[in-house]
Amino acid sequence: MWKRSIRHTRLLTRARTTRIVPCCHQYQELAWSSPPVETRTTSLRHAWNWAKIKPDPKNPFFAKRSTKNTPHTAVVLLRNAEVPMLQIQPPVFMPSTSEEVQHSLNILLFMSDFNNEPRPLAVNILACSSTGLIHYIQIANQHLSLILPTYNITNGGRQPELIPPLLKTFLESSAYTKIGFGGYEDSARIKDQYGITIKNILDIHWMAKIMGIGSSSVGMLHDVFGEVHDVYIPGRIHPDGNHSSQADRQQGEQGRSQQHLQQSPQEQGAIIDPRRWDWESHGDLELSRELVRCVAQDAFATLKMYDNIVNQKFKPGYQPGPIDSRITTDRARNFLLTSVPRGTLLPVRSLHHLLKGPFMSPEINVVQRDALALALMRQLIDSRELVADRADPSPLSFQDPSILGRKVLLPGVRSSEAILSQQQSRKVIAEAFGCRPDELRLMQDSDMARKPDKIQDLECFLGVYEWLEFLPGAELDEPSSSTSRDQVQKRVGAQDNTSAIPTSSRKLQTLLALFLNFGTVARRANDRPVETKQWVAQRIERLVQQGALLRSAGSDGWIRINPSLLRRLKRIDNKPSSIN
């Protein structure tokens, strides 16, 4: 007996009482010999709602559904349609024509719809590592995988309009959740090559990365979020040049896993990464059984790990890193306070790159270092240690990598603005550069040619000042002996007592890069980079000659602010501000 549908009786069609097996045999010639009906290929309703689709007795998909036999039924339908089958367990099919892609995808979507909220589907893009062109698009659920040869269908990617309509509608639909490893990169590839915008796509690589768990392949994530009873076997090219050995072809999955554990890495061969495979040079997918197994394994493992990643359920025996430690967060905050000025807008990508540097332990590999730095950035933003730009009211969300392009800042006022906003500091800075207080208004002029040299020097000094004044020991005189140097290092709390370069300095090239990219001249440098860079270099040289800046270790050495001038400005900042 067929299991009764949970939907209301009046919403079902008359075909719900028809057995699906007789329906397949009765209508298979009529159903598979002609292309699908236009209304079914171009309109994709969420979960293929039975109440919204007109009954069609010629369509076997309107037969009664059952959760017990649907996977097997889908395989029967595909084999009756003579769709090439690449792997039996788990089943993997590769339709060769556009019509077969339409039918196969129709079966897969119908099979995935048991409830009002269908389960996510795995979508992976297999692009050639040498040309960058997409060769295959894989779509899979927990029971079935389809590998669609879009490269051949579109004549080598030269005719993107030949993409099957149902595939295009599925990718552009937000009804189904699509997940994959590197899903956001795959989405950009499809957008560039076929002009299709994938909606409702999630990237398990990014989801794990913002948790502080780095990965470069599905296998690395499987070691963290995989189930205990699941065995992930990386694909390998054997030393004899084959993709799979003769013993692998004769053994089953269990025997192959036991042989994999017994072999050494040299005997197993080089690891195959389907996402970075050279499809142009190494032949078609159908000729390599090991490649098919790797592609299918990645898709099914992605679907199984998705819930564990969302619920942060780690594999038994895995110990997560100390990213939730208060000490680690405090170290990151202190590191940023001594690396970037307050009130200066900086891209999240730049701060993320900054945290990957000397702050991280050298024992951490590059992949894990990148993930830990991103997780720390998320904690600092969530704790309001870093805030968004007031001009951009949209909330900061780590849902996708677009957060890396947003700009954040340490709460506070920029040093240059604070100096010009107080009457005493304006007087000090004007005297230092030989300007009258009323001449400071010339800094607001947008035409640099109309500004005298002393105003241009002052403008450059204020821009450089905000990148140097907060450094440890910036107010102290540079030590001349080892004894005094040790005393200075002890006072500023530095950890490196062996370096002769004070912690209050920056390299000239580093200072130029920070000032031009993120300083007060960033917009001008973006429009006229060569001219602005020459102007900044000349002004810094003039400031060194005037004594406002000090330079050590040669012409390309370290730059610091004159301690006497800095102390006068800091003394004013520490007083309560009563005059604006």
pTM for this model (two decimals)? 0.73
Token code pair at residue 380: 């600092």
Residue 469 domain flag: no
What is the per-residue pLDDT for 305? Answer: 92
Residue 227 domain flag: yes
Residue 190 domain flag: yes
Type of residue at 427: K
Mean pLDDT of 456-485: 72
Asked whether residue 272 falls in the same domain as residue 371, the answer is: no
Strand order in the sheet with 558-561: 506-507, 558-561, 549-552
Mean pLDDT of 296-322: 86
Q: What are phi and psi of 352, to 5 degrees?
A: -60, -45
What is the per-residue pLDDT for 360? Answer: 73
Asked whether residue 286 falls in the same domain as residue 371, the answer is: no
Residue 189 domain flag: yes
Q: How far apart are CA 185 and CA 182, in angstroms?
A: 5
Mean pLDDT of 221-227: 90
Type of residue at 563: P
The 3-state DSSP class for residue 137 equals strand
Which of these, 422, 388, 364, 365, lies nearest to 574 by C-alpha position?
422
> Does 198 have pLDDT greater than 90?
yes
**Residue where a domain terminates, one of 376, 391, 421:** 376
The answer to whether 135 touches 141, Cβ cutoff 8 Å, is no
> Does 481 have pLDDT greater than 80?
no
> Which of 59-73, 93-107, 117-131, 348-362 bottoms out in mean pLDDT, i.e. has the lowest?
59-73
Asked whether residue 191 falls in the same domain as residue 126, the answer is: yes
Q: How far apart are CA 144 and CA 89, in angstroms?
A: 9
Residue 415 domain flag: no
Asked whether residue 220 falls in the same domain as residue 360, the answer is: no
**What is the Cα Rg of the chain in Å?**
32
Q: How far apart are CA 101 and CA 127, in angstroms?
A: 19
**Residue where a domain terminates, one of 376, 398, 417:** 376
Q: What is the DSSP string of 146-168?
A: EEE-HHHHTTTTT-GGGS-HHHH
What is the per-residue pLDDT across 231-262, written as a single tens digit (0 to 9) for each? Answer: 888 877 654 444 443 344 444 444 444 554 44
What is the per-residue pLDDT across 406-418, written as a single tens digit (0 to 9) for each? Answer: 999 988 888 888 8
Domain boundaries, position 541: 506-573
The 3-state DSSP class for residue 310 equals helix
Q: How far apart are CA 12 and CA 454, in angstroms?
A: 84
What is the per-residue pLDDT for 5? Answer: 43
Token code pair at residue 570: 């800091």
**Residue where a domain terminates, one of 376, 397, 421:** 376
Asked whether residue 145 falls in the same domain as residue 278, the answer is: yes
Asked whether residue 351 falls in the same domain as residue 308, the answer is: no
> Does 423 have pLDDT greater than 50?
yes
What is the per-residue pLDDT for 50? Answer: 34
Asked whether residue 358 falls in the same domain as residue 233, the answer is: no
> Does 460 have pLDDT greater than 50?
yes
Task: Please give the residue that has the higher pLDDT: either 15 or 463.
Answer: 463
What is the per-residue pLDDT for 395? Answer: 87
Q: What percentage of residues in the chain have a pLDDT greater than 90?
A: 21
> Which of 38-47, 226-235, 496-505, 564-573 bottoms out in mean pLDDT, i.e. has the lowest?
38-47
Please give the DSSP secondary-structure letter assigned to residue 443. G
Task: Please give the residue that has the higher pLDDT: either 287 or 432.
Answer: 432
Asked whether residue 370 falls in the same domain as residue 276, the answer is: no
Mean pLDDT of 24-31: 35
Asked whether residue 217 falls in the same domain as residue 307, the answer is: yes
> Does 356 have pLDDT greater than 50?
yes
What is the per-residue pLDDT for 44? Answer: 38
> Does 492 have pLDDT greater than 50?
no
Asked whether residue 149 falls in the same domain as residue 196, the answer is: yes
> Does 508 have pLDDT greater than 70?
yes
What is the per-residue pLDDT for 473? Answer: 72
Average pLDDT, rounded, for the chain: 75
The 3-state DSSP class for residue 248 equals helix
How many domains, the chain? 3
The 3-state DSSP class for residue 437 equals helix
The answer to whether 124 touches 180, Cβ cutoff 8 Å, is yes
Residue 368 domain flag: yes
Asked whether residue 233 falls in the same domain as residue 350, the answer is: no
- Pair type for strands 92-93 and 178-180: unpaired
Rounded to 5°, the CA angle 572-574-579 comes to 55
CATH number of the domain to which 221 belongs = 3.30.420.10
What is the per-residue pLDDT for 522? Answer: 87
What is the per-residue pLDDT for 285? Answer: 52
What is the per-residue pLDDT for 531? Answer: 92
> Does 266 have pLDDT greater than 70?
no
Asked whether residue 48 falls in the same domain as residue 134, the answer is: yes
